[in-house]
Structure 1
Amino acid sequence: MLTFAALSRYARHITSGECTNMNATQQAAPLSGLTSTQAQQRLAESGYNELTPPQPRRLYQIATEILQEPMFLLLLAAGGIYLLLGSREDALMLLGFVVVIIAITVFQAQKSEKVLEALRDLSSPRARVMRDDRVQHIAGREVVTGDMLLLGEGDRVAADAVVLGCNDLFADESMLTGESAPVRKSVGNPDTPPLEPGGDDQPFVYAGTVLVQGSGIGRVIATGRASAIGQIGKSL
């Protein structure tokens, strides 16, 4: 069974600094990552740590969905009425607006699908985890809740995690918050309720963000579509 002190010694190799942001209780507390069996069970229960790819839609499918919207049906009906009444110019102008709106909506839908695909690529990097009481390098998509992540400068975080120990840990969360300045991380505990990304001294790191300074240790609390980046994917 490894302790926080033992794990911090590994984290120290990442940045050659002391992992000082731990209290005495945490340093003495016995701590180990999951076993391989536990990890496989959780992977089977929750699935891979990745955003579910949407079914690709063709242009005519997107256009058909748009035309089924009540507002577009109303505009088409109004254009037809103008045409029947002999107001061809008004009818053509109204129908022209409909075509333009459909084109813009189709463009936005395709752009959203590309953004979601980019988010999927960012959400599954490689990860260093503690399993079976030893450090293992695994694919980010195989990370599960409860895994102990070893965090170091330059890493792209594989999953949302609560920080249990750190040394001057800063993260670039601009892809989630739009803020260009890196944010400082603090130490929490496994019972700390999740917070929204953004702001200094939060005890959480988030999937897809980049660690720009320091080192740390965190326990995974959310993966895939349950993560902060996954919530963004759902909204697109």
Structure 2
Amino acid sequence: MTPAKRAVVLLSGGLDSATCLAIARDMGFETYALSVAYGQRHAAELTASLRVAQALGAKEHRLARINLGQFGGSALTDPAIDIPEALPGDDERPCIPVTYVPARNTVMLSIAMAWAEVLGANDIFIGVNAVDYSGYPDCRPAFIQAFEAMANLATKAGIEGAQLRIHAPLIESSKADIIRRGIGLGVDYGITVTCYQADDAGRACGRCEACRLRAMGFAAADVPDPTPYQLRND
């Protein structure tokens, strides 16, 4: 029998990355899920990543640790910076909002690249999206293309002729389209965590921009929202 192709899939535990893992599996890859504890305040997503990896049949799931929070500069890692509750374009915020984590996707792809080389995997999947997103520069097609070019220059595998490919299958999809695709692939979105302010049980705040984009996606897809929400008194 021909060995299954291997792929490393970056898995945050959120909606997009869960869909990405399901897509890689559907494409016939033996999937190796990689989650990164980078100092994020919403650490409930890491617990969710374990559930998602198990539910979607990842061959292995690894958790890498690097503390980008030590540098600050993002509302997702620095408790002194408020999590925004306005959607992009709702106010006069800069185009790149305070939820941008400097170098996050570059760091995570680099870790995935290292594991892929060890595994003999030529494919890496990442669930970045350039449509329903907050204006992050490392979610653009140009960034993915540039990283792939760099990876093939920077690795032993690339120099020896094994072409490393960075797959971003959701990069031009709307949130509704992502949800529809994931439903078709059997993704249980009730076990994912998207919220920037999720509590320890993984329940969403329903107010942050991540929650609002997610809820709008389910509404546009005409799919019941399975997200568990925190009880509110206001």
For normalisation by structure 1, the TM-score amounts to 0.22
Of Structure 1 and Structure 2, the greater strand share is in 1
For normalisation by structure 2, the TM-score amounts to 0.22
Of Structure 1 and Structure 2, the greater helix share is in 1
Larger radius of gyration: 1
